[in-house]
Each structure stands twice: as C-alpha cells, then as structure tokens.
Amino acid sequence: MNEAYPLIRLRDRGGWLVGRDGIVVSFFIHRDHTEVAPAIWRAIETYRRAIPAGSLNWYTSDDGDMVPLDDAGWEHNRREVIDCLEGGGRTAELRESPSETGGYQAEYYGRLLNSPFHDAPATALAFTFPTEYLVRHGVEHLRTLTFQLARELPFSFGYASFAIVSTQDSWRSGDWGKTEALLARYPGLGALGAGTFSSRLGTRALSPAWITFLGQPLLGQLGGIDALRNALPFPEVSLLPMDGDRVLVTLDEWPDPIDTQTKAIPPQYRALARLMEPFLFQYEGEELLPFQHDTNEWLRRFLKPSRQ
C-alpha cells in the first residue's frame, strides 16, 4: 500500500511548499454555526489528541497574522468557536507551519445560513494528516479516527480522501502542469479546500471519496440508505448508519489514489457518482472563469467514460 501513494511536493515560484500528499477529512454542515459550536470544538480536540504533540504550532489571529499557538492561543480559538452569541461568521485555522503547507492542519469556517455574504453557505470543518501518519498507524486506525471526528457532527456531506494537502488552496500557485498531470492520473486524489466551498456548497455534494459522509438533507434527497444499498452492491463497499439519519459510506479498503496508469476507476466510485449527480456542485453561468470550468470538469471525473 505504501508504494501506491505518490510523493507530492508542490512549490511556488519562491520555492515555498504549497501542496503535499496526505489525507484530508472534511465536513459540510447545513446548520448555523451557533447550533453546532460545541460539537465542532470537541472534534477539534479529538484531532489534537490523535496527532503527535506539537504538530499544531500556529494559528490565524484576528488581524490575519500567523502567531504561535500557545495555551493562550488555544483558548483564543476555543472562544472563537464556542462564544458565538453575537452571530456572524467564525474562523479557526490551526497550522503546523506559519509559512508553508504542513501535514497537520485544522480549519473551521462557521457560517450562518441566512448570510448575505455567501451564495450557499455551509459550516465547514476540515482536518489533514500527512501520508506518513496513515502508513505508521494503519488504515483501520485512520478509519476509526475518522468516525470519531464525525460522530457528533450533523453533516450534510463530507469525505475522507487521499489528497493534495494545502493551505487555503495555495497549491494553485504551484507548477500547474505538474498538478494537472497528478489530477489526471489519480482521480482518487482530492484537491478542494473547505474554506472555498463553505461559502457556496449549501446542501450539494462534491465527488465520491474513499469515505463519503452523507446526512440531512442530502441523504434524504438521494433516497436514503436503501437507495445507497441498491446503488452500491459491491463487496468493497460498507455502509455504517449513524444516529441523526446519517451514514458513513466506505468505498474501498484503503484511501486509494487510483493510479489510472495501472488500473481502471473502480465501479463503486462511478455508481455513487451517478447517484449523486443531480446534487453535484457545479459552477453556473454562461461565461465561466477557467478555474470554474476546470473545477466543474474535475468534479465530474467519475462520470466520464473509462478510457481503458
């Protein structure tokens, strides 16, 4: 399994690391952040306990600067998440490095559903792990941890995937030719940041992934767990119902980047993509910007005919 993971190091023109290989776990919650703040903070604490001590060293302050994450900084972020009586948006960004993308990151973007500043908001929470964490601890440990992170979150959509780990999508400033080649070769490689889609995902879905989280209202729109069972009659697939009318869909034994130079896209990914297609996020408009068009195409990658 270790040999199947590509080593990814994307750098910008200044030589700074802006993207690397790892695992991303993201959740999108169609609730006001004021309703879910305690559960969000407990998930962040679960993540902090699970990663090596000292992996989170910096955070984004109120004025946008990166400052050291000491005990006072941790309390600042707790208040930013929990103390939300005044409404408005909330942000917590915890980093391994102040200047480069590290393997460990936690990002939280609390939204209000009636916000006039976002097209289709969804409260978003994302965690990252370097590939070395998966190799060291094993896939069962990561799967169990992913479930623990998700346990209290009333998500509508979420995923856990092998991915390009990046800080606020800074991978876009790297060598685009190299990145484009990676995304074309490895359809199991995630690349989308939670911050971007917290403003526009609403109740829609992104692509299927190794683990796909489905809750309300999206799960109901898909037809519920019975529709999932009918659409995914594959031995590799497992469905784990969760309280609150949610389900954790695991499409494969491990987070496979799916190297199309050696194998075809597994049919279960295509089957879930077909079920999700009517609710798949797409940028809309007559004249899309190039990155919007490329994102639309990439999100539909499991719906395209196989070339093998």
70-96 CB burial, b ≥16 within 10 A, e <16: eeebbebbeebbeebeeeebbbbbbbb
Residue 192: its pLDDT value, please?
81
Residue 85: its pLDDT value, please?
60
pLDDT tens across 272-296, in order? 999 999 999 999 988 899 889 999 9
Helices (H), the chain: 33-50, 71-82, 131-137, 139-150, 176-185, 194-197, 218-222, 224-231, 267-276, 290-299
Contacts of 151 (CB under 8 A, 6+ apart): 242
Greater confidence (168 vs 6) lies with 6
Residue among 100, 123, 119, 89 at smallest CA distance from 20: 100
pTM above 0.85, yes or no: yes
Contacts of 24 (CB under 8 A, 6+ apart): 126, 127, 128, 159, 160, 161, 163, 165, 190
22/162 Cα distance (integer angstroms):
6
Tokens representing 73?
Answer: 């900084």
Residue 116: its pLDDT value, please?
85
Q: What is the rounded average pLDDT of the residues 36-43?
A: 96
Q: What is the rounded average pLDDT of the residues 107-129?
A: 93
Beta-bridge partner residues of 28 = 124, 157
Residue 305: its pLDDT value, please?
77
pLDDT tens across 135-158, in order? 999 999 999 999 999 999 999 999
179/163 Cα distance (integer angstroms):
12
Q: Which amino acid is at 99?
A: S
Residue whose pair of structure tokens reads 């590290």 in the numeric block: 102
CB atoms within 10 A of CB 1: 12
Q: What is the rounded average pLDDT of the residues 298-307?
A: 86
pLDDT tens across 210-228, in order? 999 999 999 999 999 999 9
pLDDT tens across 225-274, in order? 999 999 999 999 999 999 999 999 999 999 999 999 999 999 999 999 99
Residue among 77, 82, 81 at smallest CA distance from 67: 77
Beta-bridge partner residues of 53 = none
Residue 158: its pLDDT value, please?
98
CA angle 100, 64, 21 (to 5 degrees): 25
In the 8-state DSSP scheme, what is residue 64?
Answer: S
pLDDT tens across 42-88, in order? 999 999 999 999 999 999 988 888 999 999 999 999 999 998 766 67
Please check whether residue 188 is in contact with residue 208, taking contact to mean a CB–CB distance below 8 angstroms.
no
Confidence band, pLDDT 50/70/90 cuts, at residue 308: very low
Q: Which amino acid is at 264?
A: A
In the 8-state DSSP scheme, what is residue 243?
Answer: T
Residue 306: its pLDDT value, please?
67
Contacts 24+ apart (CB under 8 A), 9-16: 10/164, 10/166, 10/171, 10/174, 10/175, 10/178, 10/179, 11/174, 11/175, 12/170, 12/173, 12/174, 13/173, 16/99, 16/100
Contacts of 51 (CB under 8 A, 6+ apart): 104, 129, 133
Greater confidence (304 vs 5) lies with 5
